[in-house]
A and B are shown apart, each in its own frame.
Chain A
Amino acid sequence: MWIEFLLNCAAAFVFFLILIGTTYYIAYKNGVFDNPEAKEEGDVGRR
């Protein structure tokens, strides 16, 4: 029973990692975590 429980937990962890990881990856690529203030300053600095 407890081996079965641990195996199920391992499978669930992989499932959650894929689900949550994919969501965060898409959000990261779409700029959800971008800092707009820092971006403006960076642009000025580069010019």
Chain B
Amino acid sequence: MLAFWLAGILPPTTSWILNLAIRGPTSLKTSGADWSLLLLVFDGAVAITWPDIICNVPNEGVRAFLPSLAPSLVFVSLTIWIVIVRWFEPMLEPVCDSPRPPIRSVAGVVLMWSFVVLNAFGHYFLFIRGFHVD
């Protein structure tokens, strides 16, 4: 169980830390919309080609749910992307007459990135689970 959890946790966490390490504090002022859009594209491809993918998924549970899972993931990724673009991204714009942004703006950005990496976690978890047979 821990192996699945770590398989989901490590890729998005290391990517996020790598982004921070290379770009520095600038990366803290960026949006996760592009990460979400990338996952949306991936989900769209899975939703279109699920009859072909299903033949190669050994796990019974994931295989049984893949026809409904694929469009559900599209819906989840699309929702996260729209919510980020509509509500979270405006929080990244600096307030000109204030020396410090309000704490709720920073909390909003934290929430945005948490949802983005959670979405990545879910994809990795299902991917690893799908190719594992108990």
Interface residues of A (CB under 8 A from B): 1-2, 4-5, 8-9, 11-13, 15-17, 19-21, 23-25, 27-28, 31-35, 37-39, 41-42
Interfacial residues, chain B to chain A (CB-CB below 8 A): 1, 4-5, 8-9, 12-13, 16, 20, 25, 28-29, 61-62, 65, 94-101, 103, 106-107, 109-111, 113-114, 117-118, 121-122, 125-126, 129
Contacts of A31 in B (CB 8 A): 100
Which of the residues B1, B4, B106 comes within 8 Å of A24, measured between beta carbons? B106
Q: Which A residues are CB-close (under 8 A) to B95?
A: 35, 38
Bound: A23/B113 CA distance, A: 12
* Pairwise interchain contact B61-A38, C-beta atoms closer than 8 A: no
Q: Could you tell me if A27 and B100 are in contact, using CB atoms closer than 8 angstroms?
A: no
CB distance from A33 to the nearest CB of B (A): 5
CB distance from B88 to the nearest CB of A (A): 13
Given contacts A1-B61, A21-B110, A35 and B96 within 8 Å (CB-CB): yes
